[in-house]
Amino acid sequence: MYGLRPAALVKPDGPMGRARAADAAMVGAAVGVRALPESFRALGSLPAIDYADRFTLATDAPATPEQWARAMFGDVPGFAQQVIWRGLLGLRLSRGRSPDTVAGWRVTGRGEDWIRLEAASWFLSGNLVVRAGGGKVSLGTFLHYDGRLGRRVWPPLSAIHRRLVPGLLRDAVATVEDRDRPDGDRDRPDGDRDRPDGDRARPGGDRDRAPESRKGGTR
C-alpha cells in the first residue's frame, strides 16, 4: 500500500529513527474493529470485518478524497505495491490508469468526504477508505478473511503495514502541498521561496564575483 522503506536498517536512537518516531507520534492510530466508530466502519463494503485500523493526520492541505487517495497510492501500483499486494496477498488489481481505479484498486463507493477502494484475492478481501475534512485526513484498512490462509498471512504483514502508514500519510500531505504551490516556487530551495528574486542566494556565493583587485583598483 506504500513504497517500502528500510525500517529494519534505521537505528531508533539515530536521526532517521528519531524522525520516524516523531512522524508516528503526530499520526493518530486506532487498531481493531471495536476501536473504530460505527460511522467509519459503515463506509466499508465487506460482509464482515476481521481486521480494521484507521490512521489520521491533521492537515489543512486542500484536496478531495480521491486526490488524497491518489497522492497516497498513485494511479497505478508501483514495484513495492506489486510485491505486497499481488505477490504476498494475491490481490487481483486492474492494470493501467483509469478514473475507476486507484493503484489498481477499484473505486466502489464515494461521498462528499470519503472514497472507498476494493480489491480481493482467493483468501481475503480488502477495503481502503480515505476520509478527508475538518482539518484532517484518515486512511482506514478493512480486511475480511475468505480462507484460513488469510488469518496466517496478514498478521505478520499488518505489523509492517502499521509502521509504514504514518509515513505514507505525511508523504501524501507533502505531495498535495507541492501540487498547490506556484510553479516557480517548486524549483526554489526552501530558504529562498519567500525572498525577492534579487535577494536569492547565488549558486557560487561570492566566488562568482571578481575580486576588487582584478577590477583595476589594487595591484
Predicted confidence (pLDDT) per residue in 149-200, tens digit: 999 999 999 999 999 999 999 999 999 998 877 664 555 544 444 444 444 4
- Residues 39-65 have a mean pLDDT of 96
pLDDT of residue 96: 87
Please report how many Cα atoms fall inside a 13 Å half-sphere around the Cα of residue 183, on the Cβ side. Answer: 0
Helix (H) or strand (E) holding 157: helix 148-180
Which distant-in-sequence residues (6+ apart) come within 8 Å of 40 by Cβ?
A: 54, 129, 131, 138, 140
Round to whole Å and give the CA distance between 103 and 184. Answer: 29
Range with the poorest average pLDDT among 44-48, 96-100, 113-117, 191-195: 191-195
Question: What are the strands, taking DSSP E only, across 24-123?
Answer: 27-31, 51-58, 101-102, 105-110, 114-120
pLDDT exceeding 90 applies to what percent of the chain?
62
Left, alpha or beta for 103 (phi > 0: left; psi -120 to 50: alpha)? left
Range with the poorest average pLDDT among 16-20, 40-44, 56-60, 190-194: 16-20
Residue 11 has pLDDT above 70, yes or no: no
Round to whole Å and give the CA distance between 3 and 23. Answer: 16
- For the whole model, what pTM was predicted? 0.73
- DSSP percent split of the chain into helix, strand, coil, nearest 5: 40, 20, 35
